[in-house]
Amino acid sequence: FQCVYCYQIFGRAYRGRSAVDIMAEISELDNRYGIDFISFQDDCFIIDKARVHEFCDLLDQSRLEIKWSCCGRANVVDRELLERMKSAGCVSVSFGIESGSQRILDRYRKGVSVERAKAAVSLVREVGMRNPTSFMLGAPGETRETAWETVDFCRELNIPLQALMLTTPYPGTPLYEEATAMGRIGDAEAFVMRLGDCVDFTVNLTDMTDSELIALRDEMLAEARENYRPPAPEEIA
């Protein structure tokens, strides 16, 4: 994919570990520690659907009582895949939605429409799995109006917006090159030493002041929190 905030240090080809190897490692962990849950943090875990189906088959055959979660992508998931994953013990599929504004998604080169993202969130829930989502604030060109589209997205789909990261240009990404050209990086070594996990403020890529951007983030979180309706116990898979 072409997202401007991700670095591709090994190129753009995807090479995943085989389902057999993944299953062997899970079996080893179970033998050693008696595990009952696995979280796959690979952003591309579901890209190779045939591998996911093979993994689900192997997990069923193993008879291990293990629940698991993974990361997904809104324009890749489909009902057949999600239902197979759920039947093999998957309880949660998380998405990086990033923004509820199509203008900002296009700026990120996300390759996903707002409507497709909404449909994917709804589909995961319909299948009966949890769907944690994360968003970003502070793209070049971000305004109060585009930021509030993210709040509207969360309000419409009853998302708590607990994970709202600040857009951070990591070295090696197109976004970093853009930020450098904008004069926002300054001393590169000092910038790298300040980098954190996208929660702490590092650099402002918008036309807002630093204080306006931070205040907007706090306002978005408060508004989403106020409008969020926790699901009833029977709604939780």
Model pLDDT for residues 88-135, shown as the tens digit of each residue:
999 999 999 999 999 999 999 999 999 999 999 999 999 999 999 999
pLDDT of residue 235: 61
Assign 3-class secondary structure to the chain.
CCCCCCCCCCCCCCCCCCHHHHHHHHHHHHHHHCCCEEEECCCCCCCCHHHHHHHHHHHHHHCCCCEEEEECCCCCCCHHHHHHHHHCCEEEEEEEEECCCHHHHHHHCCCCCHHHHHHHHHHHHHHCCECCEEEEECCCCCCHHHHHHHHHHHHHHCCCCCCEEECCCCCCCHHHHHHHHCCCCCCHHHHHHHCCCCCCCCCCCCCCCHHHHHHHHHHHHHHHHHHCCCCCHHHCC
Higher-pLDDT residue of 53 and 186 is 53
Q: What is the pTM of this model?
A: 0.89
Predicted local distance difference test score (pLDDT) of residue 119: 97
pLDDT for residue 194? 85
What's at 193, amino acid-wise? Answer: M
CB 204 within 8 A of CB 213: yes
Q: In the prediction, which pLDDT does 13 show?
A: 77
Largest CA distance in the chain: 57
